[in-house]
Amino acid sequence: MPETRAVGQRVKRIDAPRRLTGLERFTGDLRVPGMLVARPVTSPYAHARIRKIDVGAALQVLGVARVITATDLPLWRDPATAPAKSPLASGEAVYAGQFVALVLAETDAAAQDGVAAVEVDYEPLPVVATLDAALDPNSPHIREVQQAGNDEEAAMHNADAATQELEDEPPLAPNVSTSVHFARGDIDAGFAAADAVVELTVESKTVHQGYLEPQVCLVDITPLGDLTVYTSTQAAFYCRARVAETVGLPPQRVNVVPMPVGGGFGGKFVLIEPLVAAVARAVERPVLLHYSRMDDFLAGNPAPDCRISVKLGATKSGDITALASNLVFNTGASAGAPLQIAAMLHGGYYRFPNLEIRGHEVFTNKPGAGAYRAPGAQQATFAIESAVDELARQLDLDPLEFRLHNCAVEGDLRPNGGAWPRIGLKECLEALREHPAWRERESARANGRGVGIAVGGWPGGIEPATAVCRLDSNGELTVVLGSVDLTGTNTAFAQIAAETFDMPSGHIAVTTAPTDAAPFAGGTGGSKITYTVGKAVQRAAEDALRQILAVASEALEASVDDLEMVDGAVRVRGVPGASISLKDIANRTMGFAAKNEPIYGTGSTAIQESAPGFAVHLVEVEVDEVTGVTRPVRYVAVQDVGFAINPAEVEAQIHGGVVQGLGWALYEGMEYDSEGQLLTATLMDYALPRADMAPPIETVLVEVHSEHGAYGAKGIGEPPAIPGAAAVANAIRDAVGVRMTALPMKPEAVAAALRDGSTAAAD
């Protein structure tokens, strides 16, 4: 790669000043004339028929304008057509905290008073609260009335895996929504050939994405019913389509204004927007719904809890011979848990000559599962990387060398038979092998610490996108996009465009436009925005440059071939002084009676091959053998990032991912009781990692260039959030000998395992 001017540089995020000073304006800060504030009445039961809702007293509260229930909204009126994932119940509440009504008032205080005055007559129904209950063929379905959308979505998932479905499959329980089955080779022969076999069953709890800004959406409405949706969404165009479909308008009459997002992590694709839009249409006034923190815990869309059983065998020489696993994911009250991708990753990091993976998603009376930064990957990785580590121990093999020996490289097969493209897993393992933290692991151990490693990978997303690069009147440029900037992507895009013009990225503005004017882009998730939109931005800038050179050619009376872009101006090669600034180009294309057309570059992509990203993490922990408190004291995150457009931002992404991984490992877990009641509905009860819980984090960027991303970039959002839990478990094992199999690994559990000593004894 030749010398670069803008890409590859450490550039401050465009939005850093307003974010760091608290000056960003979020959706919840907006007010529009005539706006009503919505507050939910929530179900105290995890499953109950809604017999009657008495809103009389609520309507007497000064300032309360309306109380909306399912009967007021066309789609919700019939439980069979009610949107499956909607937080508003239709006929029956299917999880504790689901909304049964929304009180709309002139002020938030009045809405809260109104909520207290609504009286609901419930008839409690049987609750399916656990994986085992959900798997039981004798359990009732979690709903009295089935939903069309739910079945459809489940069918879609089944269709994916249907080709490999076995014929002697036992009949599914009523609450099994989806199954997968991948098989390869001869699984029995594989285990027979093994010198050691490890069997583990791991569990992880429901985990909340933990965004700072709860779900929030403001829908403005014109007197003719057209909608403007201001929302903290990761996916403006997807949101537009969903809202339009829900309220029965053509998408052209729904304008989604993607607002700054105060954290999303997969949890803010589309959750509340269709509901708020339907309510605004029903009351013909603008409506703001701003979740409280508790609303978000009760009626959000957290990562699903799951249980994964692994059986893994290998020979003394370190060849893995077989993997047999069973995954159960809890999708809550609506379909959509990440079973498929979890199974793919679980059986995809290594060459498994013989493999059988089965999996089920089950409904329970809990909120529907959502995506969480690398959905399914954390759980799948915790299982496989715990087993790999344990197996290396049993065979007395170096855990890093064991991984290197078996790790997948280009051409190796994933569970579904598809081959990996070029990936950087091996390069990451090799980089960690050379890292002092790994080389000097014995000295850490000598100090009583444990050292654990784990790998994690993400296939990477793709989705078509268009970008615009426009020359402005002052000779600077604006990139116009339809993609939401969650993680600093707009800053990276400014760098990509600036590189084309050989100028610092500060001369490029980046606008995320509302859907009525934006070029199309997919949702911000799946580590795909920099990879797909970035290339579109590069092409748009190149298109703008071509147009600029054509104008300059006329102005400078020189062939385009003799022109070069240097320092933001067009020069004639070898003719000192013969140059034209972008400001002059702007005048020639946008002034009154200007002779040339405006500079408006566009670029599109429809990349077909994703660029999977891999990370290898190392953590050193100290474990207090009395209290069980585990303290991570050193962290090394190695990641193949393709090419780091902005190394500072990439590292920041890695830092965030690592800390979220530590949350999964040690702190976070939504606890439900046997009646489906959430016991951890506040940040006092649900432990998010704080800054003082994070050790120093060293990052190592490996750059295995991708073929399609701008300058070789890959998506880098997901991978750093994946290996953390497994790395910590492996470090605890290394430090104190116990194999922890349930997340989060809280002090009491570690202490209990130490007292029990069973796993350690097996060592």
- Where along the sequence are the contacts to a second copy (CB under 8 A)? 17-18, 21, 23, 25, 29-33, 222-224, 237, 240-241, 244, 250-252, 462-466, 470, 472-474, 476, 478, 480, 509, 511, 513-514, 516-520, 522, 589-590, 592-598, 600, 602, 604-606, 608
The set of residues, in sequence order, having a beta carbon less than 8 Å from that of 557 and lying 6+ positions away, is: none
Rg (CA), the chain: 27
Ordered DSSP codes for 681-747: -STTTS-PPPGGGPPPEEEEEE----SSSGGG----SSGGGSSHHHHHHHHHHHHHS----EES--H
Whole-number Cα distances in Å, 289 to 63, 111, 214, 273, 274: 16, 11, 10, 9, 11
**Residue 26 or 191 having the CB closest to a second copy:** 26
**Which residue number, 411 or 598, has a Cβ lying nearer to a second copy?**
598
Smallest separation (angstroms) from a second copy to the CB of 659: 28
Give least dist CB 416 to a second copy, A: 14
Dihedral angle at the C-alpha atoms of 437, 735, 309, 132, nearest 10 degrees?
Answer: -130
Q: What Å distances lie between residue 59 and 37, 55, 376, 380, 392, CA to CA?
A: 14, 6, 44, 49, 66
Q: At what angle do helices 236-247 and 273-283 cross, to 10 degrees?
A: 40
Shortest distance, position 19 Cβ to a second copy, whole Å: 11
Looking at beta carbons only, is 199 or 707 nearer to a second copy? 707
Burial 642-673 (b: 16+ CB within 10 A, else e): bbbbbbebbbebbbbbbbbbbbbbbbbbbebe
Please give the Cα distance from 763 to 752 (Å, whole number).
Answer: 17
**CB nearer a second copy, residue 414 or residue 739:** 414
Considering the complex, state which of residue 396 and residue 592 has its C-beta at the smaller distance from a second copy.
592
CB contact set of 550 (below 8 Å; sequence gap of 6+): 560
Tell me whether residue 210 or residue 603 sits nearer to a second copy (CB atom): 603
Q: Going by C-beta distance under 8 Å and a sequence separation of 6 or more, which residues neighbour residue 259? A: 25, 26, 27, 30, 230, 231, 232, 233
Rounded to the nearest whole angstrom, what is the least distance from the CB of residue 140 to a second copy in the complex? 34
For a second copy, give the closer residue by CB, 173 or 481: 481
- Give the containing element (helix H, strand E) for 258: strand 254-258
For a second copy, which is the closer residue by CB, 273 or 476? 476
DSSP 631-692: EEEEEEEEEE-SS-SSHHHHHHHHHHHHHHHHIIIII--B-B-TTS-BS--STTTS-PPPGG
In 10 A of CB 10, how many CB atoms? 11
Beta carbon of residue 598, minimum distance to a second copy (angstroms, whole number): 4
In the complex, least distance from residue 599 CB atom to a second copy, rounded to whole angstroms? 9
Q: How far is the CB of 719 from a second copy (least distance, A)?
A: 20
**Reduced to 3 states, what is the DSSP secondary structure of residue 441?**
helix
- The CB-of-545 to a second copy minimum distance in angstroms stands at 15
Q: Which is nearer to a second copy, 18 or 755 (CB)?
A: 18
- Which is nearer to a second copy, 601 or 663 (by Cβ)? 601
The nearest distance, CB 543 to a second copy, in angstroms, is 9
Cα separation of 358 and 324, whole Å? 8
- What is the rounded CA–CA span in Å between residue 389 and residue 396? 10
- The smaller minimum CB distance to a second copy, of residues 399 and 522, is found at 522
Residue closest to 121 by CA, chosen among 144, 86, 93: 93
> Whole-number minimum distance, CB 528 to a second copy, in Å?
10
Q: How far from 324 is each of 250, 266, 347, 470, 758, CA to CA, in Å?
A: 48, 29, 9, 54, 23
Q: Which is nearer to a second copy, 12 or 351 (CB)?
A: 12
Residue 589 C-beta: closest distance to a second copy, Å: 6
Closest separation between CB of residue 236 and a second copy, Å?
12
